[in-house]
């Protein structure tokens, strides 16, 4: 037990470990990689300490490194998994972890500058609405969280058509509310999509569809934009 503890405490400063510095904001979701067959250290930059790391025991082993205020993880399988990381200020971050071949990693979460965020938010608000909408959608579509936004993960089926399986994956809240869905064609024929077909899903400001033509079992991202109130009108969950 003593030997194991000493090794864990040395992990964050080991020169043999590769490093990942991930720029983060509270409430954001970020992709990271972890060694599939080795230990990975996770911590905060700028002297912040981790308060807790949460993950499913069936997919990852988690140990706390009290000396450095970090956590040590080891995947149990090669399947991707999620972690919720909370720092000593009570702010949380979601990590989408992909196990990869190779030596252990040191992952450092670097909080974005508050002043930089405020400048970005101010610049965004001064943009014409259409330009701001396009810019924000591009950021969301590539899997990032826009400055001034928080993201809430969901896995919720939404009633649409018999031929389509529509699931709400994420809700981005900021100056606008943006909902990220995945739509799958569950029919046996080709499906053609039109943004106007989604206007009945509550108070919709704009709709963006990644692929407008879906083969049977094909899927596409759908982004529905609402105002900042996030009112979702008459959207109904499936039971």
User: 5-35, pLDDT tens digit by residue?
Assistant: 333 333 333 333 457 889 898 889 999 999 9
Do 55 and 66 fall into the same domain? yes
Q: What are phi and psi of 123, to 5 degrees?
A: -65, -40
Give Cα separations from 149 to 24, 33, 124 (angstroms): 12, 24, 12
pLDDT band at residue 132 under the 50/70/90 scheme: confident
Residue 75 is predicted with a pLDDT of 95
Does 239 fall in a domain?
no
CA neighbor of 93 nearest in space, from 9, 12, 179, 25: 25
Do 153 and 208 fall into the same domain? yes
Averaged over 147-173, what is the pLDDT? 85
Averaged over 189-194, what is the pLDDT? 91
Does 153 fall in a domain?
yes
Do 86 and 163 fall into the same domain? no
Do 65 and 97 fall into the same domain? yes
The alpha carbon dihedral of 50, 104, 32, 74 has a sign of negative
Give Cα separations from 59 to 54, 81, 196, 207 (angstroms): 11, 7, 41, 36
Domain tally, the chain: 2
The number of beta carbons lying within 10 Å of the beta carbon of residue 5 is 13
Q: Between 128 and 174, whose confidence is greater?
A: 174
Does 210 fall in a domain?
yes
Following CA atoms 139, 142, 148, 150 in sequence, which dihedral angle do they give, to the nearest 10 degrees? 150
Does 175 fall in a domain?
yes
| Domain range for 30 | 2-111
Question: Residues 74, 39: contact at Cβ < 8 Å?
Answer: yes
Does 135 fall in a domain?
yes
**Last residue of one domain, picked from the residues 111, 136, 162:** 111
Q: Between 181 and 202, whose confidence is greater?
A: 181
Residue 97 is predicted with a pLDDT of 94
The alpha carbon dihedral of 196, 199, 204, 207 has a sign of negative
pLDDT over 90 (residue 59)? yes
Does 235 fall in a domain?
no
Do 164 and 99 fall into the same domain? no
For residue 34, give both structure tokens.
């972890």
Question: Residues 200, 160: contact at Cβ < 8 Å?
Answer: no
Does 236 fall in a domain?
no
**Last residue of one domain, picked from the residues 111, 134, 166:** 111
Q: Residue 157 belongs to a domain with what CATH number?
A: 2.60.40
Residue 61 pairs in a beta bridge with 74
**Last residue of one domain, picked from the residues 77, 93, 111:** 111
Burial track 22-55 (b if 16+ CB lie within 10 A, e otherwise): bebbebbbbebbbbbebbbbbbbeeebebbebeb
């Amino acid at each position: 037990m003593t030997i194991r503890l000493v090794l864990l405490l040395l992990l964050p400063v080991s020169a043999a470990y590769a490093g990942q510095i991930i720029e983060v904001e509270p409430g954001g979701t970020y992709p990271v990689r972890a060694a599939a067959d080795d230990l990975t250290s996770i911590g905060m930059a700028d002297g912040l300490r981790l308060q807790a790391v949460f993950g499913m025991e069936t997919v990852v082993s988690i140990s706390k490194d009290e000396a450095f205020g970090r956590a040590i993880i080891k995947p149990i399988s090669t399947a991707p998994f999620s972690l919720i990381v909370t720092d000593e200020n009570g702010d949380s971050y979601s990590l989408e972890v992909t196990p990869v071949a190779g030596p252990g990693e040191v992952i450092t979460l670097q909080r974005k500058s508050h002043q930089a965020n405020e400048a970005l938010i101010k610049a965004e608000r001064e943009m014409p609405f259409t330009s701001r909408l396009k810019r924000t959608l591009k950021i969301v579509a590539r899997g990032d969280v826009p400055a001034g936004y928080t993201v809430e993960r969901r896995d919720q089926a939404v009633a649409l058509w018999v031929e389509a399986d529509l699931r709400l994956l994420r809700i981005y809240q900021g100056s606008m509310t943006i909902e990220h869905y995945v739509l799958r064609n569950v029919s046996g024929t080709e499906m053609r999509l039109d943004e106007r077909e989604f206007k009945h899903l509550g108070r919709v400001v704009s709709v963006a569809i990644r692929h407008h033509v879906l083969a049977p079992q094909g899927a596409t991202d759908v982004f529905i934009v609402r105002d900042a109130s996030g009112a979702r009108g008459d959207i109904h969950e499936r039971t």
